[in-house]
Amino acid sequence: MNKSTNDRKPRYVKIIEILKRQIVEQETWSQGMKIPAERELAETLGASRNTIRRAISVLIDEGYIFNEVGRGTFVNSKKFWGKKNRIHKSKLVGIIITDVKFTFGKQIIRGLEDHLNKNGYSLILCQDHSNIEKTHRYIKTLVEHGIKGVILDPVLTEDYAADNIEIVKRFEKEKLPVVLIDREIHGIQKNIVLTNNEEISFQAVNYLLKKNHKKIIVVRDNALVFQKRFNGVMRAFEKNNVPFSNCRDVVLKSHDDIRRDTARLVSVLKNSRGCTALFSLNEYFGKVSLRAFSKLKKKVPEDISFLTFDHPEDSSFEEGEITYIEQPLTKMGNKAGKLIVNLIEFGTSSVNRVIIKSKLIIGRSVRQID
């Protein structure tokens, strides 16, 4: 009697077909799942380890599974199945962040990359510059590269909550863990690392008021993180029994055009007589403020006292001159890295909210008013 066609197939080909069914038909394994070790498969399927190893090698080459040294073999993303040599880009983490031009982005990346590198992960950096269309293009690219998780600096758009909820849901659909950094998203619960924005802003304005600055200019954007900081400003005025009408609230929409933003602030300062101090709620507006002072020939602190979030890197002031809020940015990045690695490797149903305290660094840019 002639043997069937199936009986004439090499043993390793039969094993390939069996394993492929477990993947494609999802009888046993799903995407991202670790498959049994060679020895276990050999015992279960009644084949030698050499046969199992040969079958696995073919399935890796065909994109159905991928191997990580020291961790095992895993089912690849469906988009790679049947695509020769399209092996999963393992141990990749993405970060979507506004930009890395300023101290915030640079130090967040430094802390994040340090932890990821120590744990065998690599980082894909995406700067969206608050452009939601660009963000969605990056999401597609990150998923195609087989990232295992993402750090999200929520995108600053007009429809902030809805846009960022949509972003998070796109990652959830791909079963990818997400860690937020710096900004919350109302209506969604995710692991997050942020600073004590409201409390440190309260401390900063309280310091100015104790120095007898009763009329203060506050320069900010209207995004969520700035509102948190501004809440601290309002609380300080209330705590010190100073009328809030003494606060000149200047809302500038950053255009990433420092000349234009400086001109707008110069116009505001010309009409802010009696104000003796300015508090900038981020590094960029700190740079804008210093340029505006220069345009108006105002000296710090003789003509106006100055306090800012983060130390403007390219200011003419030396370290120790500016009074500023030092955010623990490298530590924030490091904590975000720990959270995302834990989610990738162990998974968890709990939501971690990590708040790191910023510090008020006293320099010489704030003077006592007699």
- 189 plus 237 within the same structural domain: no
- Mean pLDDT check: name the lowest of 111-120, 162-171, 326-335: 111-120
Supply the CATH number for residue 74's domain.
Answer: 1.10.10.10
Helices (H), 280-359: 283-295, 329-345
Full-model pTM: 0.73
The torsion of the CA quartet 7, 12, 16, 17, rounded to 10 degrees, works out to: 0
95 pLDDT more than 80: yes
Model confidence at 10, pLDDT cuts 50, 70, 90, reads confident
For residue 69, the 8-state DSSP code is T
The two structure tokens encoding residue 195: 């600073």
Highest mean pLDDT among 60-64, 73-77, 98-102, 331-335 belongs to 331-335
Residues 170, 245, single domain; the answer is: no
Residue 367 structure tokens: 């003077």
Secondary structure class of 64 (helix, strand, coil): coil
189/292 same-domain check: no
**Domain total in the chain:** 3
CB atoms within 10 A of CB 349: 4
Does residue 368 lie in a domain region?
no
Q: Are residues 277 and 169 in the same domain?
A: no
Quick one: average pLDDT of 113-135?
Answer: 92
Domain at 309, CATH number:
3.40.50.2300
**pLDDT for residue 1:** 42
pLDDT in tens, 257-292: 889 999 999 999 999 889 999 999 999 999 999 999
Residue type, 268: V
Q: Is the pLDDT of residue 6 over 70?
A: no
SS3 (DSSP) at 102: coil
Per the structure, the complete domain to which residue 204 belongs is given by 197-328
Rounded-to-integer distance, Cα 130 and Cα 143, Å: 20
- What is the pLDDT at residue 233? 98
In a domain, 283, yes or no: yes
pLDDT tens profile 163-209: 999 999 999 999 999 999 999 998 889 999 999 999 999 999 999 99
User: 4-13, 38-47, 198-207: which range is least confident on average?
Assistant: 4-13
Domain boundary among 56, 80, 104: 80
Among 54, 80, 106, residue at a domain's last position: 80
Q: Would 309 be classed as within a structural domain? A: yes
Residue 46 lies in a domain: yes
Which residue shows structure tokens 């199936």? 6
Q: Which amino acid is at 341?
A: V
Checking if the pLDDT of 108 tops 90, the result is yes
Q: Which two tokens stand for residue 356?
A: 């790191």
At 338, is the pLDDT very low, low, confident or very high (cuts 50, 70, 90)?
very high
The DSSP-derived string for 164-224 is HHHHHHHHHHTT--EEEES---TT---EEEEE-HHHHHHHHHHHHHHTT--SEEEEE-SSH
Kindly state whether residue 178 falls inside one of the protein's structural domains.
yes
Residues 303 and 323 in one domain: yes
DSSP code at position 155: -
In this predicted model, which residue has the larger pLDDT, 231 or 101? 231
Same domain for 97 and 58: no
Asked if residue 209 and residue 158 are part of one domain, the reply reads no
Task: Give yes or no for residue 111 having a pLDDT over 90.
Answer: yes
- CB neighbour list of residue 137: distance below 8 Å, 6 or more residues apart: none
DSSP annotation of 365:
S
- Residue 124 sits in the same domain as residue 31: no
What is the band of 57 on the pLDDT scale with cuts at 50, 70, 90? confident
Residue (of 171, 221, 165, 230) closest to 198 by Cα position: 230
Q: Can you say how many angstroms the Cα of residue 133 is from the centroid of all Cα atoms in its chain?
A: 18
* Same domain for 309 and 257: yes
CB atoms within 10 A of CB 89: 16
Looking at the fold, whether 352 and 242 belong to one and the same domain comes out as no
Compute the distance between CA of residue 300 and CA of residue 290 in angstroms, rounded to an integer.
Answer: 9
Which pLDDT score, from 0 to 100, does residue 139 have? 95
pLDDT tens digits, one per residue of 212-244: 999 999 999 888 789 999 999 999 999 999 999
Are the beta carbons of 35 and 67 closer than 8 angstroms? no
pLDDT at 279: 98
pLDDT at 3: 47
Give the pLDDT of residue 346.
84
The mean predicted confidence, pLDDT, of the chain is 89
Instruction: Please tell me whether residues 61 and 105 are part of one structural domain.
Output: no
The two most distant CA atoms of the chain are separated, in Å, by: 111
| Residues with Cβ within 8 Å of residue 156, at least 6 apart in sequence | 98, 130, 221, 223
- The rounded percent of the chain whose pLDDT value lies above 70 is 91
- Choosing from 80, 115, 140, the residue where a domain stops is 80
203 and 189 within one domain: no
> In the structure, how many helices (H) and strands (E) does the chain have?
12, 14
Residue 101 belongs to a domain: yes
In a domain, 277, yes or no: yes
Residue 155 Cα distances to 12, 124, 127, 314, angstroms: 50, 17, 10, 26
Q: Which long-range contacts (CB under 8 A, 24 or more apart) does 102-107 make?
A: 102/283, 102/284, 102/310, 102/313, 103/283, 103/310, 103/311, 103/313, 103/329, 104/182, 104/282, 104/283, 104/310, 104/327, 104/329, 106/329, 107/329, 107/330, 107/332, 107/333
Q: Is residue 72 part of a domain?
A: yes
Mean pLDDT, range 150-163, rounded to an integer = 93
